[in-house]
């Protein structure tokens, strides 16, 4: 079974993986802390994920850290929803909205 992650929202753009991990270590030993960044710019998207070595700390973190300030921003902490299996988009990003241009033959 996959480990339960915490979703951390409203992160400051200055927050990085290390500062996120340090903040959550006040609850317990952190297995991983990751700030999600934009692929092209490398800038934070303003959210991330944290997982604890002991999953019992998840609810404790939600109760104690939701609404607290990290790097000047009030963060939201909640249990992450499982990633949904979305169908692959093989249409170049155009989902049924015209697709690519096609010359008419008449």
Tell whether the torsion through CA atoms of 56, 23, 51 and 12 is positive or negative: positive
pLDDT score of 23 = 98
Judged against a pLDDT cut of 60, whether residue 19 lies above it is answered with: yes
**pLDDT tens sequence across 31-88:** 999 999 999 999 999 999 999 999 999 999 999 999 999 999 999 999 999 877 767 6
Cα gap 43→103, rounded to integer Å = 40
Looking at per-residue pLDDT, the higher value among 4 and 10 belongs to: 10
Residue 79, φ and ψ in degrees, nearest 5 = -70, 135
Once rounded to an integer, what is the mean pLDDT over residues 4-13? 96
pLDDT score of 25 = 98
**Model's pTM, two decimal places?**
0.78
Architecture of domain 6-78: 2-Layer Sandwich (3.30)
> How many of the other CB atoms lie within 10 Å of CB of 62?
16
Provide CB contacts within 8 A for 86, sequence distance 6+. Answer: none
Per-domain residue ranges of the chain = 6-78
Q: Give me the residue label for tokens 């934070």.
A: 44
- pLDDT-derived band at 98 (thresholds 50, 70, 90) equals low
Residue 4, φ and ψ in degrees, nearest 5 = -75, 125
């Amino acid at each position: 079974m996959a480990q339960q992650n915490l979703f951390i929202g409203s992160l400051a753009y200055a927050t990085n993986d290390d500062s996120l991990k340090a903040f959550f270590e006040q609850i317990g030993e952190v297995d991983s802390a990751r700030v999600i960044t934009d692929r092209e710019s490398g800038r934070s998207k303003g959210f991330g994920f944290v997982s604890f070595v002991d999953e019992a700390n998840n609810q404790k973190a939600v109760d104690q850290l939701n609404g607290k300030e990290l790097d000047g921003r009030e963060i939201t902490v909640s249990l992450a929803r499982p990633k949904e299996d979305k169908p692959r988009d093989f249409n170049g990003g155009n989902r049924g909205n015209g697709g690519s241009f096609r010359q008419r033959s008449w």
